[in-house]
Structure 1
């Protein structure tokens, strides 16, 4: 039986983000008052950072007593760090928090109030800004549902299917860490949580498994954290089509392998996940390509197309790689790349739909 010393463990996996981590922690400590002393702890798992992360953690200890931290002797990759930070937690609930995101004013109290309703899994929305948080925050939502949503996935499967149908982003399926809260005992009850280490989505496996077993799920249509766009550790240069393709491929392989394993390839849940991932990844990548090549139109267009095709397992036999400035020629090259991309993505998805 899981023993809990606190109501909530705020669990932060980190690696070489000392200045950003300091901002994240400042947004938390500003909301921690003495009344929360016995209810909230902060847990940090450091993936062998080489910067000043250790000092940042020590400074945190000077501000808040309930701090647990761990530092790996070497970088173990994101998945094992995610698992470790939850292993260290002592709260009834765990809140994943990315070490570069900011907790909005009042959000800690808001989360604690939601936990009074005893959900097994809680998900909420986020604000989005740029990497330096200088752009005005924009509220985003993972779902087309008009309001917040609750269901018991075992007793109300149709309601859960409605939620899946209304998802419009992978964040609605737990791709974004900082909006996820869950019961620690439910997490610990999932066997073989390390099965998908290397996918970057080991946490998605555990959360899908909790929902598949039957869980009280709550989606709160309120943005409670501020996310830095353009700071994806899995895609350092989101403007590079080749890197973007590899990032998309990570989403496809991770989500569809996990979904098929947890829900079963013939299940309605897997089919809904498949449709969502297909819609988001394929059309999102094409949209990014069109923006990149049609509107920027610099002298490296052909070379970038070449790299994209190579990264996606395609060939470049019949096209010139000389710089091209003519808009119509660029459009033709882009069209060819998009068609090959669709064909390649179709083959990728085919193995997950049968």
Structure 2
């Protein structure tokens, strides 16, 4: 009988055959050492995903499952974790790639830290995985007190490291499976993984973070949220509101703590850009959450005033002009 793997690399995917090939190619078999398995849940893809998976069966300890229909990302995340056999799971985005040595570093961290959740950093790339910037959590064990947890959340550089980005942490499989009935109440939120991690932490799960960046996140991949100005802000504001109220008891300290990385991801200039590009209604519907997360009432009222005065089109023209000017300067290069 084979021993239980330490880690299951759990990859949910749908119609990303090309990206999935890059993702699987980044998993170095030499780093698996018999303690890591790769599990893929294909959400009824209609492209060549199945052929890609078949092509890696000879080189990776790979198991894969094909769903009978596309039942959305949240159910697919739940399905791939349920199918895993490892002590720990790493939900890895099928359009992301593992950094060289990343699996070895993660296995070492899981072995030495033995916490329920291990958080780590990532490199943000563009659509072609060219690196843009790095983001990592502050390293160390996070204390069991609510003050320490709040401080850890407040120190995150962006929303992604609040457990919204699936590829930036690993967790004990029992953390997810022990509360699976609760987790499934969050299907349809697009953030089932965030609710799962926060509910575990609120119940006393242990957390440690390392500052290493173990994965490259692919950016610029169009989806139903990032192609519509303001829709992502509304989704995140709505999700955070539900998360704090349902999981954390509506504690003011959590609004303040989560508000800091939220405003780093969505600063005032991002709200102005959204309003100028037709997404003001998303800001309106998120007004209460935006205020509780620390955005200025003056800013929000000012955007509404610009709409009433029919000046948002002027703001858009100014922003577009500024962007074109910067693009021209960049294309010309620095003067000799």
Q: TM-score range by the shorter chain?
A: 0.7 to 0.9
| Structure 1 partner of 2:80 | 85
C-alpha spacing 1:277/1:4, structure 2 compared with 1 (3 Å): farther
Q: Which of 109, 112, 115 matches 2:104?
A: 109
Structure 2 Cα separation of the partners of residues 332 and 232 of structure 1 = 22
Whether the 8 Å CA contact 2:17–2:48 is kept in 1: the answer is yes
1:230 is matched with 220
The yes-or-no answer on 1:150 pairing with 2:141 is yes
In structure 2, stretches of 5+ residues that fail to align are: 286-303, 322-336
Counterpart of 1:345 in structure 2 is none
Match of 1:10 in 2: 9
Contact 1:265 1:271 in 2 (8 A): no
Q: Which residue of 1 aligns with 2:42?
A: 46
Matched residues in 1 for 2:233 and 2:258: separation?
15
Partner of 2:233: 248
Contact kept in structure 1, 2:118 and 2:169, CA below 8 Å: yes
User: SS at 1:95's partner residue?
Assistant: strand
Q: Which of 125, 135, 143 is residue 141 of structure 1 equivalent to?
A: 135
**Out of 99, 124, 135, which is 2:120 matched to?**
124
Residue 200 of structure 2 corresponds to which residue in structure 1? Answer: 210
Matches within 5 A, 1:171-320: 171-190=160-179, 191-231=181-221, 233-237=223-227, 243-266=228-251, 268-274=253-259, 276-277=261-262, 280-281=265-266, 283=268, 285-286=270-271, 288-289=273-274, 305=277, 307-309=278-280, 319=310
1:180-209 alpha-carbon deviations (Å, 9 max, x no partner): 200011211124111111110011111001
Greater mean deviation of Cα atoms: 201-210 or 251-260: 251-260
**Cα distance between partner residues in 1 of 2:158 and 2:18:** 29
Q: Which residue of 2 aligns with 1:26?
A: 25
Is the alpha carbon distance of 1:227 and 1:280 closer, same or farther for their aligned partners in structure 2, counting shifts above 3 Å? closer
Distance change in 2, residues 1:309/1:105 (3 Å): same
Instruction: Report whether the alignment pairs 1:76 with 2:71.
Output: yes
How far the C-alpha of 1:166 sits from its partner, in A, is 1.2
User: TM-score, normalization: structure 1?
Assistant: 0.75
Q: Please give the alpha-carbon distance, in whole angstroms, between the structure 2 residues aligned to 1:317 and 1:244.
A: 19
1:260 Cα deviation from its structure 2 partner: 1.5
**Aligned-residue CA RMSD (Å):** 3.0
SS at match of 1:251: helix
SS at match of 2:69: coil
Tell me how many residue pairs correspond in the alignment.
298
After TM superposition, give the deviation of residue 312 of structure 1 in Å: 5.1
The structural deviation recorded for 1:215 is 2.1
Q: Answer whether contact 2:11 2:91 (CA < 8 A) is retained.
A: yes
Which residue, 147, 156, 168 being the options, matches 2:157? 168
Query: Is the contact made by 1:4 and 1:91 (CA closer than 8 Å) also made in structure 2?
Result: no
**Residue 19 of structure 2 contacts residue 95 of structure 2 at CA under 8 Å; is this kept in 1?**
yes
Q: TM-score, normalised by structure 2?
A: 0.79
Moved more, 259-268 or 309-318: 309-318
- Note the alpha carbon deviations across 1:258-309, whole angstroms, 9 max, x for none: 222011113523442245435633536236459xx7xxxxxxxxxxx4x334
Unaligned runs of 5+ residues in structure 1 are 238-242, 294-304, 335-354
In structure 2, what is the Cα distance between the partners aligned to 1:249 and 1:80? 22
Say which SS state the counterpart of residue 52 (structure 2) adopts.
Answer: helix
Match in the other structure for 2:293: none
- Change in 2 beyond 3 A, CA 1:332/1:22: closer
- Partner in structure 2 of residue 299 of structure 1: none
The 8 Å contact of residues 139 and 223 in structure 1, kept in 2 or not, is answered as no
